[in-house]
Chains A and B, each alone.
Chain A
Amino acid sequence: MNTINEQIHRVPLVLGDKSFKDVTDAIARPAEAKAPKWWVVGVLFSASVACILFAMIGYLIWDGVGVWGLNNPVGWGFAIVNFVFWVGIGHAGTLISAILFLFKQKWRTSINRFAEAMTIFAVICAGIFPGIHVGRIWLAYYLFPIPNSMAMWPNFKSALLWDVFAVSTYFTVSLLFWYVGLIPDLATFRDRAKTRVKRLAYGFFALGWSGSSRQWINYEKAYLILAAIATPLVLSVHSIVSFDFATSNLPGWHTTIFPPYFVAGAIFSGFAMVLTLLIIARKIFNLEDLVTIRHLENMNKFILATGTMVGYAYAMEFFMAWYSGNQYEAFAFVNRAFGPYAWAYWIMISCNVISPQFFWFRSLRTSIPVMFIISIFVNIGMWFERFVITVTSLHRDFLPSSWDYYTPTWVDIMTFVGSFGLFFSLFLLFLKFLPIISIAEVKGVMAIADPHHYESHTKKGGQL
């Protein structure tokens, strides 16, 4: 049913006089057409970059964590920065798919699949880093409560263990959520597929979905419950990631503002990443009618809001450092802004706080080039935020004799670059082989999907 709000003039979610078949055709086209050249080149390129990641991991395991730039006070470097960065990216996906679903924001339907896929691939990239950061990865099973010959159990009172549970639950639930959403669309692909191999492959994962209404009833209920539990989950995950820092006693980390500040930052960076990818994808696949300017503008509003929240958090950290009267806390923050890592701090401030402010102007937040550039800036800025938090707090610890400067080695940098290769490889495979927009859900929000539409003939198909 349409809410009263949507009866007032709003830009429709699906442009043009489209039938159900048109929507299916438009979304299935990229998967059915022959792979374009740019795609083949893109996959080959990103797969080779991903190979760098695996080579670097192999080298790390072979040689030990000494190949990284970690030193004595700075025991957490690129690996942790990248972990928090990638986990944060993932949050927008769950936010769009779950929270906006609960709030019945119908505009989410054409971007949620895309964002969820991004979540899963980002969490895969994120999960690699703490995994290899433990050094002796063959002992990583210590993290899970598995009976072993040491008669030892994990320490459930440690924030680092909470993180293991939070991230693995987050990945599992996101994957289930994504897959459940995909089932009807996989059935659509199965029924359209031209070759037997495709029919069998899509058919296998469609689990024999027939579109039965008796199944839809349970399906919708399950999807709603998943959305309802994914909402607190997504808020908890980055809160728990922030506990990794906040439960320690290091000035610059030991602050109660961390959980909400991390969650806002995560949504901020995630939306920026969705925006970057979506702008490219809608152009390439001619999906301008399904992913409209209204969608992009809504996302820009989110970026503006969360970017401002992040800016507020930066300011509040300084305020608390002064107001608490704790000289160590005060030093940590003055050192952040004017110490050896001031360059990183000011990159962070200009990208995260200043650049989204352009979105106050409608002309700028509806301009594709402007939003593309700003989304890139935000991506960069949010990586630097994690760098600033992790490294600047550590490099000046309580013992001045151990103060040091952290510089990443080439292995650090290539591992990070390689993680982008993995991310984009997975993403390009997704673009080619899976429905990048939720077909069933888009049909569900079209005017012609509403049985009442056929009672009054004043409305036209596809538009309100």
Chain B
Amino acid sequence: MSIFGYLCEVDNPKDLLDLSKKVYHAGYIKFDTYTPFPVHGIDKAMGIPLSRVPYLSLIGCLIGLTGAIALQVWTNGFDYPIALSGKPFVALPAFVPVTFELTILFTAFFTVFGMFAINKLPQWNQPIFNNESIKKATCSGFFLAISSDDKNFDIEKTKLFLERSGGKNIEAINH
């Protein structure tokens, strides 16, 4: 294939929703839309499943929780027990604040870096950046792109389909 796919523009969020629905119902899977802000309802229109980020957050949370308890119990209770402040060596109530903070810390790490991993960020070099017009997507433009990797992609038919469905300024994403 000589091109990466097609990129087209629409005027406003509503048109983008309509176009996305048409593209999705036409059986395309590998397509994406580009918007300056998250458009409400776009996930349903494009058939995007629920985000997996919360599962990663939960994993981070559990690692933080158990890790913090293990760290404190092992260091203060077993490896170097110090008789201080009239508390037992393993003083669980006194371990609550640090456990809480580390749980939050690990949840945050897993949430953010997990989100990066799922989104494949950072990815500074992407085929879509070959097109000048995509720069508008971070300001006021609403775009839709169909990848040439999609099994329904056809260099002529897809272009025609986008034209008929209301896509404007259709461009090829070149190498």
* Interface hits, B47-85 → A, CB 8 Å: 48, 51-54, 57, 71-72, 75-76, 79-80, 82, 84-85
* Interface hits, A163-212 → B, CB 8 Å: 165-166, 169, 172-173, 176-177, 180, 183-184, 187-188, 190-192, 203-204, 207-212
Q: Give the distance in Å from the alpha carbon of A449 to the alpha carbon of B42 in the complex.
A: 12
Residues of chain B within 8 A (CB-CB) of A204 are 124
Q: Give the distance in Å from the alpha carbon of A57 to the alpha carbon of B104 in the complex.
A: 32
- A156 B111 Cβ-Cβ under 8 A: no
> B133 CB to closest chain A CB, in angstroms?
11
- Say yes or no: is A104 at the interface (Cβ < 8 Å to chain B): no
- A211 B138 Cβ-Cβ under 8 A: yes
One of B31-39, B150-158, B160-168 contacting the partner? B31-39
Q: Give the distance in Å from the alpha carbon of A20 to the alpha carbon of B13 in the complex.
A: 12
Answer whether A210 and B34 are a contact pair too, CB < 8 Å, given A21-B140, A155-B76.
yes
Residues of chain A within 8 A (CB-CB) of B109 are 176
- Say yes or no: is A221 at the interface (Cβ < 8 Å to chain B): yes
> B95 CB to closest chain A CB, in angstroms?
6
- Say yes or no: is A455 at the interface (Cβ < 8 Å to chain B): yes
Q: Could you give, for residues 229-254 of chain A, a 1 whenever the CB lies within 8 Å of some chain B CB and a 0 otherwise?
A: 11011001000100100000000000
For the A-B complex with A165-B97, A221-B51, A439-B36 known, give 6 more contacts whose Cβ atoms are closer than 8 Å.
A153-B75, A153-B80, A156-B76, A169-B105, A210-B129, A451-B17
Partner of A153, one of B14, B76, B139: B76
- B48 A207 Cβ-Cβ under 8 A: no
Which residue on B lies nearest to A156, using beta carbons?
B72
Interface residues on B, range: 35 or more
Q: Could you give, for residues 21-39 of chain B, a 1 whenever the CB lies within 8 Å of some chain A CB and a 0 otherwise?
A: 0000000000011111111
Answer whether A208 and B38 are a contact pair too, CB < 8 Å, given A20-B140, A191-B135, A449-B13.
no
One of A274-282, A290-298, A440-448 contacting the partner? A440-448
Q: What residues make up the interface of A, taking CB atoms closer than 8 Å to B?
A: 1, 19-21, 24, 145, 151-159, 161-162, 165-166, 169, 172-173, 176-177, 180, 183-184, 187-188, 190-192, 203-204, 207-222, 225-226, 229-230, 232-233, 236, 240, 243, 439-441, 443-444, 448-455
- Say yes or no: is B2 at the interface (Cβ < 8 Å to chain A): no
User: Ordered nearest first, which 6 A-B pairs have the shortest CB separation?
Assistant: A207-B122, A222-B115, A153-B75, A20-B140, A191-B135, A162-B97
Residues of chain B within 8 A (CB-CB) of A220 are 38, 51
- B91 A208 Cβ-Cβ under 8 A: no
Which residue on B lies nearest to A183, using beta carbons?
B121
- B14 A455 Cβ-Cβ under 8 A: yes
> A16 CB to closest chain B CB, in angstroms?
16
- A169 B101 Cβ-Cβ under 8 A: yes
Q: Give the distance in Å from the alpha carbon of A24 to the alpha carbon of B116 in the complex.
A: 25
Residues of chain A within 8 A (CB-CB) of B46 are 213-214
Answer whether A212 and B34 are a contact pair too, CB < 8 Å, given A1-B40, A207-B124.
yes
- A444 B37 Cβ-Cβ under 8 A: yes
Q: Give the distance in Å from the alpha carbon of A215 to the alpha carbon of B53 in the complex.
A: 11
Which residue on B lies nearest to A189, using beta carbons?
B138
Q: Could you give, for residues 106-150 of chain B, a 1 whenever the CB lies within 8 Å of some chain A CB and a 0 otherwise?
A: 011101101110110111111011000011111110010000000
A-B contact pairs, 9 of them (CB 8 A): A162-B98, A211-B34, A219-B38, A219-B119, A221-B54, A240-B101, A444-B37, A454-B12, A454-B15
> A128 CB to closest chain B CB, in angstroms?
20
- Say yes or no: is B94 at the interface (Cβ < 8 Å to chain A): yes
- B115 A219 Cβ-Cβ under 8 A: yes
Residues of chain B within 8 A (CB-CB) of A191 are 135-136, 138-139
Partner of A157, one of B12, B52, B94: B94
Residues of chain A within 8 A (CB-CB) of B17 are 451
Residues of chain B within 8 A (CB-CB) of A210 are 34, 126, 128-129, 134, 137-138
- A213 B48 Cβ-Cβ under 8 A: yes
Residues of chain A within 8 A (CB-CB) of B36 are 20, 24, 184, 188, 211, 439-440, 443
- B138 A187 Cβ-Cβ under 8 A: yes
Q: Give the distance in Å from the alpha carbon of A297 to the alpha carbon of B109 in the complex.
A: 35
- B107 A172 Cβ-Cβ under 8 A: no
> A235 CB to closest chain B CB, in angstroms?
11
Q: Give the distance in Å from the alpha carbon of A450 to the alpha carbon of B41 in the complex.
A: 10
- A172 B13 Cβ-Cβ under 8 A: no
> B136 CB to closest chain A CB, in angstroms?
8
- A208 B125 Cβ-Cβ under 8 A: yes
> B58 CB to closest chain A CB, in angstroms?
10
Residues of chain A within 8 A (CB-CB) of B51 are 217-218, 220-222
- A208 B94 Cβ-Cβ under 8 A: no
Partner of A207, one of B13, B75, B116: B116
Residues of chain B within 8 A (CB-CB) of A216 are 35, 38-39, 42
Q: Give the distance in Å from the alpha carbon of A157 to the alpha carbon of B85 in the complex.
A: 8
Residues of chain B within 8 A (CB-CB) of A450 are 13, 40
- Say yes or no: is B175 at the interface (Cβ < 8 Å to chain A): no
